[in-house]
Amino acid sequence: MSCLITMSQKELNRLETVQKIKDGRLSVVQAAESLRLSRSQMHRLLQAYERDGALGLVSRKRGQPSNRRHSDEFRNAVLDLIRTRYHDFGPTLAREKLIELHQMAVGKETLRQWMTEAGIWTSRRERKQRIYQPRGRRDCLGELVQIDGSHHWWFEERGPKCALLVYIDDATGKLLHLRFAPSENTFDYLQATKAYLEEWGKPIAFYSDKHGVFRSTHASEKDRTSGLTQFGRALYELNIDIICANTPQAKGRVERANRTLQDRLVKELRLRDISTLDDANAFAPAFMADFNRRFGKEPRNPKDMHRSLAEHENLDGAMCRKEVRTLSQSLTLRYDKVIFILDPTDYAKTLARQKVIVCDYPDGRLEIMHEGITLPYRTFDTLRSVHRSQVVENKRLDDILSVVAEMQAGRERERSRSGPRHTGQKDHMFGIRDGATANGYQKRGRKPGRRTDFMNDPAVIAKREQALKRQPAAES
């Protein structure tokens, strides 16, 4: 009676060796050496083969439970604990918590098998991919405009990597505005949106991702405007909604347009040998016209939903960064480590301890306003060092200012970390990180090791004492 025998490769090698011994082609000693077994073990294999045939060489442990396996009671206790407390944990994290909190040691892969057999865990391969059903286009032009930034090597090796800000209409698939920028930042989006609104008017809503320019993670439940970003606040002032998509697939129209642009636009820029942002922005209108002619669709409804600006809406005043500051009694305020001193006009004198709005524009202008009135001011940059060439002739102050210059050399010169980032803003007053460089000093590199405490430096203290001793003589 024939039967099917399952053997491992190791067992097949033993069967072949035993048959060679039976045929007289190998001795028992040679066979034991080839299989790396002892002579007695080789004789036991021969006896098993003579008694049961090839079946005698098969391991009797096959198909039997392991002697090291966990008991059924332990397995059930672990699974019950996972169901009640760790039902949404993965096998790796669940194993860590079982060891840390319950002193129940079990292998990661063993636990994975248990959770899979119990239906608690599903491997990533077996998980069903989320289905994204297509959404129909909007009916009218300007009803919904999708915006996104695409970081890419647009100039290939001819220029730096940059971002392309894309505005595409959902109803027609037409490109409404393109702007090349160093990165996705608030000021570049404000400039691009301002240019778009000047050309087309106000759409009903913008559709974007959850980039930090569009969505704040620190929203307030009490005040709607307090949870808006600067870009969202600008749109709110102009009565334009912004909708943030949860997934890239939700705004697939602009994502697919980015993929097309990364192919066609890159080659068009190469053919024209364009390698700068300004030249690329100048070429963008011609490219958009050709793109829309080839790929644009007619809307189902010919009505244009773009709206014109209302009389009370100020486009230039909305498209800027606004922050509220409280004036001090001396008519001063601080913004990004710069002290703004208001001119003491009759109107400004009435604003002490009142709130004003600092308007920081993308083109570098900065205005301080109160109820729509612009307040004149002058500035004092706290990061600038003393300009020594203006006072070097005054012998009484020269040594004191040399001490001050030494102290300033050890200060940390950078803008406020919580203040605005001026990426994308042109010709602003905050561009000089080191005031001493602007005033003619050579910037001193920081020495290795711990920083020097200039207030307790013996050399500085000696200079200070010498300067104080010369003060009475200079005054007399």
Task: Quick: pLDDT tens for 404-454.
Answer: 666 666 555 666 666 666 676 776 666 654 444 444 444 445 555 555 566
C-alpha distance across the termini of the chain, in Å:
130
Tokens of 369: 């306003």
pTM reported for the whole predicted model: 0.61
Q: What is the pLDDT of residue 405?
A: 66
Distance from C-alpha of 369 to C-alpha of 46, rounded to nearest angstrom: 102
HEC assignment per residue over 156-190: HHHCCCEEEEEEEECCCCCEEEEEEECCCCHHHHH
The answer on pLDDT for 88 being more than 70 is yes
Q: What is the DSSP letter of 62?
A: T
DSSP 260-324: HHHHHHHHHHHHTT--SHHHHHHHHHHHHHHHHHHH----SS--B--BPPPTT--HHHHSSEEEE
Gap between the Cα atoms of 143 and 136, Å rounded = 13
pLDDT over 70 percentage in the chain: 81
Cβ atoms < 10 Å from Cβ of 15: 19
Q: Output the pLDDT for position 447.
A: 52
pLDDT value of residue 218: 66
User: 116-125, 173-182, 300-309 — which is least confidently predicted?
Assistant: 116-125
* Alpha-carbon distance values, 245 to 147, 199, 211 (Å): 11, 26, 10
State both tokens at 268: 């068009």
Residue 204 or residue 4, greater confidence: 204
pLDDT at position 434, please? 44
Alpha-carbon distance of 32 to 34, in angstroms, equals: 6
Dihedral Cα 293, 294, 295, 299, nearest 10 deg: 40
- What lies within 8 Å, CB to CB, of 284 at 6+ separation is 178, 179, 180
Quote the pLDDT of residue 463: 80
User: What pLDDT sits at residue 239?
Assistant: 93
Average pLDDT over residues 227-240: 91
Q: Dump pLDDT digits (tens) for 118-170.
A: 988 887 777 777 777 788 899 999 999 999 999 999 999 999 999 999 999 99
